[in-house]
Chain A
Amino acid sequence: MLITGIKSRPTYDELTPLSSGHRHVVAAQGSGGAPSLRLLSAMTPEQRALTTLIYSTESFDGDNHLAALTTESVAGLIPQSSNAAALETLREVLSTAKMGTRLYLAGSEGFIGTAMQVASSFGMDSDEVLREQAGSLVRRVWCAHCDTYTDNVTMRVFECPGCHLNLVVRDHYSSRLAAFQGVKADGEVPGELPDIDEELDT
């Protein structure tokens, strides 16, 4: 489990079946396939029969659990080849969801965060959602200067693809934006960059 000193970073859970649920929706991506399989094996056959599984095979690490997930007997498995498509599917599924729906998210922090944005837009709160971070700790970063979001950031300093400034990633996370904060790295003296070789907590 991910433990850091970053106070604004979400605390992640371990996916376990929520017995209060009348319907279960699992949205996972890449490495998140492993915790999803573990969750399904912990479910009763009745819970599995009430479970819809959305899985994106887009992965920074190249982890793909689709074959194993296909063998699970759930109400429905919807594979997607991109995280964006998986989120769109999640939006469709939640738009018809009733009270008692429980949501399980697994994968990269960026995927979980953006999926949580979808869940929040339907008024779901943290009591109804479990989140398990899986795979490498790549970060999703928001550029404070041009509003561009960059996925899979691994280095403390990187070039923003939007405004081409060198950004330093601050250890400060916004759940609403589902991203860490990136600000101009050489703001005080142009060209004077902080330690550019530092890897984030990947």
Chain B
Amino acid sequence: MSSTPTFKTHETYTPEGEFDYVNSRESVRRSPFPFPDDEYMYSMNLEPHVPTGDGALRAEFDIDEHYVSECRHRAQMLEDMPGVHYAALPHMLEAQWDLLEVIFEAYARDYPEHFTLTKNGNEWHWVNRLLQIDDTFTFGDPSTLPMDPMEYATRQAQGEFIVLEEKDNDLVIGAGMATERADYSLRFNLGMHFYEFHGPVPKLHEMGILDRALKFLLRMKPGHPVRRVNWSLTVNPRLETSVETLPDWAPDRATVTEENAGESVYLRIELQPLHRLPRSNAVVFPVRTYLISLAELVEHAPDWAKRMHRALASLDHELVDYKGFHRYHEHAVNWLAKYDDGAPLANGYPWLEGGIQPGE
């Protein structure tokens, strides 16, 4: 187990807070870097979610030095726009309790120094020392919590959480805590079926990836989570980039130049550890987001920066458009090019044997 990070409490993810967000060297090097090859290929890349290495894949639900500030940011976003970032369909209550249990049990097991869960039958005692929370409640009785069980649990969890209910061999979005979503609307997507909410993603349908992914997910069993990584780019360290607030964050995209790309463009890594929930049979799709600026990558993980340069440079144009960075894609590539000497790099995810390491 790696050393306990120092939790930052006053970081911000907004221009009002002047984007006061920085990664430590350890924070960069422990992240689930998503480029196994010089050329990026769309794939399902699902693998069993078993503890691996001593970085972001050690715990069932990873937390890092940004945990406290990210939870505070979430609380602020929920207060600013009620009903926009958290929503649950009425019949999702059982799945909500399932999710609370899965998160709290995992946190208490993986981080006993920060979290303690004590169960006495259905009387549960939850202590979260990082956020100074000490509560007792009755599992299964929503009247013993100040809010929905899912909202209560995910206000104390890093990353976003989408809960999918199984219905007629399909997965339907039933609930979500999404203060960190990349250009979609939770309210709009609520109730959508698997193929519907993947509708705007290019190539997926044609490549048959969705058919295989859905079949795979429907076979998932409780206690056997799987994971995948995905990525995007975000200008400035903004976690909250929803459709609703697009007028606030989209102008950032036009501010990137070849000179400032290192500081303003962030690699947005999404770690997605999917779980089948035990009672409701729902599937939870968590998205744990890591924001790392290109400059931080060069400084702390130079081989990953080289790899990212090559993956970005060879990226399919349809994907560039879909991910929304056509306006600054070239600036990011040119900025990174200065730090790529063309040396051969290892292939494979960094957490796998022989995979690409951050470099010195």
Residues of A within 8 A of B (CB): 6-8, 142, 144-145, 165, 170-177, 181, 183-184, 187-190
A127 → chain B closest CB, angstroms: 10
Q: Is B205 on the interface with A (CB-CB < 8 A)?
A: yes
Q: Given the interface contacts A188-B250, A188-B327, A189-B254, does A7 sit within 8 Å of B199 by beta carbon?
A: yes
What band does the interface of chain B fall in when counting residues whose beta carbon is under 8 Å from A? 20 to 34
Contact B247 A172 (CB under 8 A): no
Q: Is B323 on the interface with A (CB-CB < 8 A)?
A: no
Q: Given the interface contacts A172-B200, A177-B187, A188-B250, does A8 sit within 8 Å of B192 by beta carbon?
A: yes
Contact A144 B243 (CB under 8 A): yes
Q: Given the interface contacts A142-B188, A174-B192, A177-B188, does A187 sit within 8 Å of B199 by beta carbon?
A: no
Number of A-B contacts (CB under 8 A): 64
Expressed in whole angstroms, the Cα–Cα distance for A188 and B192 within the complex equals 28
Contact A187 B198 (CB under 8 A): no
B201 → chain A closest CB, angstroms: 9
Residues of B within 8 A of A (CB): 185, 187-192, 195-200, 205, 243-244, 246-247, 250-251, 253-254, 327
Contacts of B254 in A (CB 8 A): 188-189
Q: Which of B185, B192, B244 contacts A175 (CB 8 A)?
A: B192
Contact A8 B251 (CB under 8 A): no
Contact B244 A190 (CB under 8 A): no
Q: Given the interface contacts A7-B199, A187-B251, does A174 sit within 8 Å of B189 by beta carbon?
A: yes
Contacts of B187 in A (CB 8 A): 177
In the complex, the chain B residue whose C-beta lies closest to that of A163 is: B247
Expressed in whole angstroms, the Cα–Cα distance for A174 and B197 within the complex equals 9
In the complex, the chain A residue whose C-beta lies closest to that of B205 is: A7
Contacts of A145 in B (CB 8 A): 244, 246-247
Q: Given the interface contacts A8-B196, A144-B244, A171-B200, does A189 sit within 8 Å of B191 by beta carbon?
A: no
Expressed in whole angstroms, the Cα–Cα distance for A190 and B248 within the complex equals 11
Contact B327 A172 (CB under 8 A): no
Q: Mind listing 21 A-B residue pairs with CB under 8 Å?
A: A7-B198, A7-B200, A8-B192, A8-B199, A144-B185, A165-B247, A171-B199, A173-B199, A174-B192, A175-B196, A176-B191, A176-B192, A177-B187, A187-B246, A187-B247, A188-B253, A188-B254, A188-B327, A189-B251, A189-B254, A190-B251
In the complex, the chain A residue whose C-beta lies closest to that of B197 is: A8
In the complex, the chain A residue whose C-beta lies closest to that of B204 is: A7
B200 → chain A closest CB, angstroms: 5
Contact B251 A188 (CB under 8 A): yes
Contact B205 A183 (CB under 8 A): no
Expressed in whole angstroms, the Cα–Cα distance for A188 and B185 within the complex equals 18
In the complex, the chain A residue whose C-beta lies closest to that of B199 is: A7
Expressed in whole angstroms, the Cα–Cα distance for A44 and B196 within the complex equals 37
Contacts of B250 in A (CB 8 A): 184, 187-188
Q: Which of B192, B195, B198, B246 contacts A183 (CB 8 A)?
A: B246
Give the top 3 A-B pairs by smallest Cβ distance, nearest first. A7-B199, A187-B250, A176-B191
Given contacts A176-B190, A181-B188, 20 further A-B contacts (CB under 8 A): A6-B199, A7-B198, A144-B188, A144-B244, A145-B246, A170-B200, A171-B200, A172-B188, A172-B199, A174-B191, A174-B192, A175-B191, A175-B192, A176-B192, A177-B187, A181-B243, A184-B250, A187-B251, A188-B253, A190-B251
Contacts of B327 in A (CB 8 A): 188
Contacts of A7 in B (CB 8 A): 195-196, 198-200, 205
Contacts of B185 in A (CB 8 A): 144, 181
In the complex, the chain B residue whose C-beta lies closest to that of A146 is: B244
B255 → chain A closest CB, angstroms: 10
Contacts of B190 in A (CB 8 A): 174, 176
Expressed in whole angstroms, the Cα–Cα distance for A39 and B191 within the complex equals 30
Expressed in whole angstroms, the Cα–Cα distance for A165 and B195 within the complex equals 30
Contacts of B244 in A (CB 8 A): 144-145
In the complex, the chain A residue whose C-beta lies closest to that of B244 is: A144
Expressed in whole angstroms, the Cα–Cα distance for A64 and B254 within the complex equals 49
Contacts of B246 in A (CB 8 A): 144-145, 183-184, 187
Contacts of A190 in B (CB 8 A): 251
Expressed in whole angstroms, the Cα–Cα distance for A145 and B245 within the complex equals 7
Expressed in whole angstroms, the Cα–Cα distance for A176 and B189 within the complex equals 8
Expressed in whole angstroms, the Cα–Cα distance for A141 and B253 within the complex equals 26
Contacts of A188 in B (CB 8 A): 250-251, 253-254, 327
A63 → chain B closest CB, angstroms: 30
Expressed in whole angstroms, the Cα–Cα distance for A145 and B246 within the complex equals 8
Which of B185, B188, B189 is packed against the most chain A CB atoms within 10 Å?
B188
In the complex, the chain A residue whose C-beta lies closest to that of B183 is: A183
In the complex, the chain B residue whose C-beta lies closest to that of A190 is: B251
Expressed in whole angstroms, the Cα–Cα distance for A110 and B320 within the complex equals 32
In the complex, the chain B residue whose C-beta lies closest to that of A189 is: B254
Expressed in whole angstroms, the Cα–Cα distance for A109 and B146 within the complex equals 41
Expressed in whole angstroms, the Cα–Cα distance for A121 and B148 within the complex equals 22
Which of A145, A172, A190 is packed against the most chain B CB atoms within 10 Å?
A172
Contact B188 A183 (CB under 8 A): no
Expressed in whole angstroms, the Cα–Cα distance for A171 and B322 within the complex equals 13
B22 → chain A closest CB, angstroms: 26
Contacts of A170 in B (CB 8 A): 200
Contacts of B196 in A (CB 8 A): 7-8, 173, 175
